Amino acid sequence: MTKGFENELKDNSKHIREMMKQQNEHIQTSITIAEKTLNILSLTDFIDIIVDELTQECWNRVNLAFNDKIRKNKIDFGRAYASEIPRFREFLVKYDITIEEFELLMRFKRKSNVEFHNDDDAKKLIESIPEISKEFKVPLIKVLNALE
């Protein structure tokens, strides 16, 4: 090997290490933003709207239906919740939220056990959610819009 080639190889290696370091910093920033987002939002506020419009009893049954479906890895809600789920589905239409999107939020809440609440910075933080969590972005924005 020639000296010139060795120097060029060292420079390229140094450049690649620097790029990897910067990429790691960006990933860490994304994770921090995602954690802040999780701490800012509150699904509880949207649940208050649900209770106001549908009654506490209906929400309790809907919540039980989601918990049962998620915990037991069911494909659907089953006959036990045949009266509440269609009513809840109609309620969600008013807020442009599908039952599947709401289920994602319930899974998200269950998994992270985080409180969500309305905050001016919430939507900005949601926009910065890393790619691995993008499926939560649309339902989170819809819930924030419903809370406004």
Domain ranges of the chain: 3-147
How high is the pLDDT of residue 81?
87
pLDDT band at 85 (very low <50, low <70, confident <90, very high): very high
End-to-end Cα distance, the chain? 67
- Per-residue tokens: 104: 């994602």
Question: What tokens does 10 get?
Answer: 């060292």
Q: Specify the pLDDT at position 89.
A: 94
What type of residue is 112?
A: S
Global pTM?
A: 0.51
